[in-house]
Amino acid sequence: MKPSSRSPRPSRASRRSGLVAALRPHQWTKNLIVFAGLIFGQKLLDPDAVARAAAAFAIFCALSSVVYLINDLADREADRLHPLKQHRAIASGVVSPALAVTTAAVLGAAALFAAFLLGGRFGIVAIAYLGLFTLYTGSLKHVVIIDVLTIAAGFVLRAVAGAVVIPVPISPWLLIVTILGALFLGLAKRRHELVLLADDASGHRRSLEDYSPYLLDQMIAVVSASTIVAYAFYTVSPDTIHKFGTNMLGLTLPFPLYGIFRYLYLVHQKEGGGSPAELLITDRPLLVCVALWAASVVALIYGVP
């Protein structure tokens, strides 16, 4: 009797673990930008503000997981041709499209309901975030340059959400540095994809055929320099000095300098950059740099001796 060529049906345990993996909890570190408003709005010692910011972080973790499910559903055929993404739960068949759709619908509805409980403005930002990345999954990620700008806009919406939920004024500097830093990460990710996939790049993502390593390197150089300059101007601007009562924030500049240089080293010398969130967690020097930067900023802003 001829053996069946059909793949065995995944067990309940494998479906459960696959669904958790499809939510990509390891990517939730991207949502830490929600706490920027808490720190730079000088609300870190306010228990109510901390609780609201933590709730906002949890909501954006849920919303980002919904986006990942939608994205993996839309890309499941292309992901099966990718050397790494073919192992994703939906592309590999561990999680069925029906289960993914149901989970995304329930999780998205619950997250948006919770967002409006925290406030109308926060709820509107949450809807804007989900709507933007639904458009990104459908079409924007295939448009050269617009794709990385959309990713950067997502980080800006996270930062805005963290400010409106407390609420504190939204600093233009916060938005400028956020969008530049996010563009840096997005462009580095595109470069990693282009180099990894080589001739098959355009088959995986149409916008990649309009990029080249040289073009992306030029863009990365512009954005990385702009990020450092914007951060430097922010730390020494009269408004910043007056707001925080210190002119010492400029001393934190070596941390973003090292962080960007370290990231470029990992991209060019270690072929990293495919997942910024994973790189932050797995690369100890980069993780230590971010932790020291955050600690020094908190110490200077809040006058910790």
Q: Are residues 145 and 30 in the same domain?
A: yes
Rounded distance, CA 53 to CA 167, Å? Answer: 10
Q: 112 near 56, Cβ under 8 Å? A: no
Q: Are residues 175 and 296 in the same domain?
A: yes
Report residue 252's pLDDT band, with 50, 70 and 90 as the boundaries. Answer: very high
What is the pLDDT, as a whole number, of residue 298?
94
| Structure-model confidence comparison of residues 136 and 195, the more confident one | 136
Is the pLDDT assigned to residue 297 strictly greater than 60? Answer: yes
Q: Are residues 162 and 197 in the same domain?
A: no
Residue with tokens 């390593």, as numbered in its chain: 213
Q: What is the DSSP string of 197-214?
A: HGGGHHHH-GGGGG--HH
Rounded distance, CA 240 to CA 245, Å? Answer: 8
Q: Is 3 within a domain?
A: no
Q: Is 217 within a domain?
A: yes
What is the pLDDT, as a whole number, of residue 82?
67
Q: Note the pLDDT tens digit of each residue in 84-97.
A: 677 677 877 788 88
Q: 26 near 277, Cβ under 8 Å? A: yes
- Token pair in block for residue 163: 């400010």
What is the pLDDT, as a whole number, of residue 192?
82
Rounded (5°) CA angle 109-111-114: 110
Among 134, 177, 122, which Cα is nearest to 155's?
A: 177
Q: Is 25 within a domain?
A: yes
Residues of the domain holding 283:
171-305
Report residue 273's pLDDT band, with 50, 70 and 90 as the boundaries. Answer: low
Quick one: 245 exposed, middle or buried, by C-beta within 10 A (0-12, 13-18, 19+)? exposed
Rounded distance, CA 219 to CA 154, Å? Answer: 19
Q: Are residues 199 and 59 in the same domain?
A: no
Q: Is 293 within a domain?
A: yes
Q: Note the pLDDT tens digit of each residue in 173-209.
A: 888 999 999 999 999 888 888 877 665 555 556 677 7
Average pLDDT of the residues of the chain: 87
Q: Are residues 258 and 233 in the same domain?
A: yes
- The structural domain count of the chain equals 2
What is the pLDDT, as a whole number, of residue 197?
66
Report residue 81's pLDDT band, with 50, 70 and 90 as the boundaries. Answer: low
Q: Are residues 163 and 91 in the same domain?
A: yes
Q: Note the pLDDT tens digit of each residue in 202-251.
A: 555 667 778 888 999 999 999 999 999 999 999 999 999 999 999 999 99
What is the pLDDT, as a whole number, of residue 189?
86
What is the pLDDT, as a whole number, of residue 219?
95
Q: Are residues 118 and 212 in the same domain?
A: no
Q: Are residues 175 and 163 in the same domain?
A: no
Range in 5-14, 67-76, 138-147, 179-188 the model is least confident about: 5-14
